[in-house]
Structure 1
Amino acid sequence: MNIREQTEKIEQTILSPLATLACRTAGRQYPEEEDDLRTAFQRDRDRIIHCKSFRRLKHKTQVFLSPEGDHYRTRLTHTLEVAQIARTIARCLRLNEDLTEAISLAHDLGHTPFGHAGEHALNEICSVSPMEDGSSGFRHYEQSVRIVERLEKNGHGLNLTAEVRDGILCHTCGAQAKTPEGRIVRVADRIAYINHDIEDSERAGILREDQLPESVTAVLGHSKRERIDRLVRSVVRCSTDGVMRMEPEIQKAFDDLHAFMYASVYVNPHAKSEEKKIPLVIEKLYEYAQVSEHLPEDMRRIAKEDGVRRAAVDYIAGMTDPYAVELFERVYVPHAWQHR
């Protein structure tokens, strides 16, 4: 046996009967020869880490718009925290860590610049002006799948396994993922962002720890460490059948915490004051990008094959915050005349 086959044999021996085994993957979009070192899910994880879309996450907003300071989360650091929490749960439940990590690392690849404000703005545009294939609206989880299937590697995609693509698509809402590993990522994503958003909000002066509802802290604890620990332990205790859940008391406190964060931070007029500018920026960039000559070479190919509106959306969704601002200023803000 080669190293991959040995690893697959170990998976069959030590993982739960509910685990998704790499040797039983439903396969890739396009058949490939197996690697002699890495399982299918390990290869997926590696491809995601090395792709351009993953690197761009370091300059995309998580909650606070392009924050000044080294310790605020970006979309990349959020992704890494999701992966850590998800892997812990997968390990405790004896599920496939490699599959869980691959889904975690790719789940937000399709997020727009400027966080959910950018996503909402692009969704409005795409709802009014459907794309050439008849689809309308914009959802970052669908864009994440499009990136790994179509846009990465100069239009060839990453050719990931069906299990990873399903987990990406189902990580946020709608139907649950087909695998327990995909279902782990869905709950780990929520555990991660609620807790790190509290920490970032404290750093930003938006709220204090002692302002969290007492009914929540009495159940989940008074620190990020305590909350994450109790939430993860609850998921592990209650999810041995592969369906991710928590004890009712824990789940209620978690839902109440989410509602509190929504009212106190996610729609806080002080925290979100700059976001009212985002729809104009996205709208003007969309107008600009609908001229094929304005698109980079890889997006011009998408425009020819999938339509210029589709390419414009792909182009904007892939931008980082700084690049979107720089392009907007270069195209729409007058520059001082310079004598040459």
Structure 2
Amino acid sequence: MLPREQTELFEKQFLNENACLSVDSKGRKEPCEPCPLRTCFQRDRDRILHCNSFRRLKHKTQVYLSPAGDHYRTRLTHTLEVSQIARTISRALRLNEDLTEAIALGHDLGHTPFGHAGERALNELSPDGFHHYEQSLRVVDILEKDGKGLDLTEEVRDGILKHTNMIADTKEGYVVRFADVIAYINHDIDDSVRAGIMTEEDIPKNITKVLGGSKSERITTLVTSLIKGGAESLHMDDEVSDAYTALHRFMFDFVYTNPKCKSEEVKAKDMIAKLYDYYVHHIEKLPAFYMNLAYQFGIDRAICDYISGMTDGFAIETFKNLFIPLGWTKY
């Protein structure tokens, strides 16, 4: 029996009845020979892990733009934390951990430079709007591998698309949605404490009484509550859910709209807007790959593809090259 077949047999024997089995996958748009070693979901995980868009996440903002320090989260470290939390939940519920991991690793591939500030900028500029979860699917379907895409299974594609505000078709996709919010609320607290925006003691006592007074305690409480709810329902108990909602409201008021935290966002949005406007009027300046996309999908979509794929540093360097006279850089 091949290693892949052994894993598929294990899934049938030991996974929860609500789990998505590898052998039951709806498959890919372009069928291919099964791998002797890996299931289809393990194969998807590896395709994501080795793609260019995944590597670029290490140079994309999570919350804080250009922070002074090496310990702030980037979009890549956020993705890894989501993957870890999601795998813990799936393993405890005996769901398909490989499917969960693939969705988690791919969920933010379409995110812009400068975090949600960049996303909001493109959403305001594009006539069709821009949402990172839709762009993540576009990355894996079209943009990766020089336009060939990664050809992922339908279950992974569905989980990537629906990780923000839709209900995924699989329980594994729904787990990633929970893991995403658990991860970002807690690492944003951690980064905000490091930045001097807040302290742990600023969090209201009615919240810490339920969730705990540290990142580890809060994650444990949230994950444990979700696991206790079971794979069928996948929900937290009311007390924990209410405390999480209160924590999110606190973070929105205390951090996410804090002028000190968001002081650079206006500059980032202006930079994105100027880049967008430049390429609208100078479409011929796009790289050849994106010129071809413009012919296929329209100018706006090609520009959004190009800008959203930039890292923070590449966007800044491109802006300098286009708008800053070379001699000025000496001063």
SS of aligned partner of 1:122:
helix
* Counterparts of residues 186-225 of structure 1 (less than 5 Å): 186-225=177-216
The match for 1:180 is 171
Unaligned 5+ runs, structure 2: none
Give 1:299 deviation, angstroms: 1.4
- In the TM superposition, what is the alpha-carbon distance from 1:279 to its structure 2 partner? 2.3
- Give the structure 1 partner of residue 240 of structure 2: 250
Is structure 2 residue 267 aligned with structure 1 residue 271?
A: no
Aligned partners of 2:290 and 2:302 also within 8 Å: yes
Partner of residue 159, structure 2: 167
Residue number among 248, 255, 273 corresponding to 1:283 in the alignment: 273
- Secondary structure (helix, strand or coil) at the match of 1:253 reads helix
The whole-number CA distance in structure 2 between the counterparts of 1:59 and 1:232 is 29
Q: After TM superposition, what 4+ stretches of structure 1 lie above 3 angstroms from structure 2?
A: none
**Cα distance, 1:297 vs structure 2:** 2.5
Partner of 2:131: 139
Range moving further from structure 2, 97-106 or 287-296 = 287-296
Structure 1's unaligned 5+ residue stretches are 131-135
Contact 1:142 1:169 in 2 (8 A): yes
Partner of 2:143: 151
Match of 2:79 in 1: 79
| 1:284 shift after superposition | 1.1
What CA distance in whole angstroms lies between the structure 2 residues aligned with 1:44 and 1:293?
35
Separation (CA, whole Å) in 1 of partners of 2:249 and 2:240: 14
Say whether 1:63 aligns with 2:55.
Answer: no
Q: Distance in 2 between matches of 1:271 and 1:233?
A: 31
Take 1:148 and 1:18, find their aligned partners in 2: how far apart are those partners?
A: 26
Letter of the 1:294 counterpart: K
Relative to 1, partners in 2 of residues 1:287 and 1:261: Cα closer, same or farther, differing over 3 Å? same
Given residue 241 of structure 2, which amino acid in structure 1 is its aligned partner?
A: Q
Query: 1:23 deviation in Å?
Result: 0.6
Distance (whole Å) between structure 2 residues aligned to residue 3 and residue 51 of structure 1:
24
State the AA in 1 paired with 2:61: T
Structure 2 residue identity aligned to 1:251: S
Q: CA RMSD for the aligned pairs?
A: 1.2
User: How far has the Cα of 1:240 moved from its partner?
Assistant: 3.0
Q: Percent identity?
A: 59
Alpha-carbon distance in 2 for matches of 1:81, 1:237:
21
CA distance in 2, matches of 1:337, 1:85: 47
Q: Tell me, in whole angstroms, the C-alpha distance in 2 between the residues paired with 1:239 and 1:8.
A: 23
SS in 2 for 1:205: coil
What amino acid does structure 2 have at the position aligned with 1:229?
T
For 1:229 and 1:137, the matched residues in 2 are separated by 37
State the 1:137 CA deviation: 0.6
Matched residue type, 1:145: L
> Is this contact kept in 2: 1:113–1:321, CA < 8 A?
yes
Q: What count of residue pairs does the alignment treat as equivalent?
A: 328
CA distance in 2, matches of 1:72, 1:49: 22
Deviation at 1:31, TM superposition (A): 1.3
What's the secondary structure of 2:69's corresponding residue?
coil
Aligned to 1:259: 249
CA drift of 1:302 comes to: 1.1
Deviation sequence 1:171-227 (CA, Å, 0-9, x none): 011x30010000000000000000000000000000000000101000011100100
Match of 1:318 among 295, 309, 323: 309
- Structure 1 segment 81-160 matched on structure 2, within 5 A: 81-126=81-126, 130=127, 136-160=128-152
TM-score by structure 1 length? 0.94
Provide the rounded CA distance (Å) in 2 between the counterparts of 1:4 and 1:301: 39
**What CA distance in whole angstroms lies between the structure 1 residues aligned with 2:328 and 2:92?**
63
> Match for 2:188: what amino acid?
D
In structure 1, give the amino acid aligned to 2:90: A
Aligned-partner Cα distance in 1 for 2:75–2:269: 20
Distance 1:154 1:163 in 2: 23
Contact 2:293 2:302 in 1 (8 A): yes
Residues 60 and 66, structure 1, Cα contact 8 Å, conserved in 2: no
When normalised by structure 2's length, the TM-score is 0.97
